[in-house]
């Protein structure tokens, strides 16, 4: 049997807080509502971390593709991806580089249509991350 991975461990701690610790904390004989609330918040955070860790590779890859496309469009060129699958560290480094380049372009000033394109790409990434980490979160346009 293999050892549990990070997301499995996070979920196990969240289950412990929700199913074992919190009920004991709200027992009338031991009542500490503030501690029970903190246990519930902690469990929710652990579940979100586990979900994000499980989806991190796909989310980062999608962010990198989307933001490279936006940067290429701002430069008036085709996205020149070579099709190779980068390692995790290469993907993260490339993503940080593209994010910095886009931030620099935004700070320097963009035409309104270009700024709208950047905002839409960033919003799409945030929606994807929220969908992975907080599936019950209302992503309807009326919330924006």
User: According to the 3-state scheme, what is the secondary structure of the chain?
Assistant: CCCCCHHHHHHHHHHHHHHHHHHHHCCCCCCCHHHHHHHHHHHHHHHHHHHHHHHHHHHHHHHHHHHHHHHHHHCCCCCCCCCCCCCHHHHHHHHHHHHHHHHHHHHHCCCHHHHHHHHHHHHHHHHHHHHHHCCCCCCCHHHC
Give me the tens of pLDDT residue by residue for the chain, a chain 144 residues long: 555 667 777 888 888 887 877 777 777 776 677 777 877 788 888 888 888 787 888 889 999 999 999 999 988 887 666 566 678 888 889 999 999 999 999 999 999 999 999 999 999 998 898 888 777 877 776 655
pTM: 0.65
């Amino acid at each position: 049997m293999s050892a549990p991975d990070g997301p499995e461990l996070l979920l196990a701690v969240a289950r412990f807080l929700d199913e074992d610790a919190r009920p004991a904390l709200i027992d009338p004989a031991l009542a500490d509502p503030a501690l029970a609330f903190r246990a519930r918040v902690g469990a929710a955070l652990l579940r979100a971390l586990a979900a994000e860790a499980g989806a991190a590779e796909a989310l980062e890859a999608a962010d990198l593709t989307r933001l490279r496309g936006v940067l290429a469009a701002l430069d008036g060129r085709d996205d020149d991806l070579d099709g190779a699958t980068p390692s995790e560290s290469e993907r993260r480094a490339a993503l940080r580089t593209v994010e910095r380049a886009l931030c620099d372009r935004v700070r320097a000033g963009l035409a309104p249509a270009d700024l709208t394109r950047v905002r839409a790409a960033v919003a799409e990434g945030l929606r994807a991350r929220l969908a992975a980490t907080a599936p019950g979160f209302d992503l309807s346009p009326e919330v924006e």
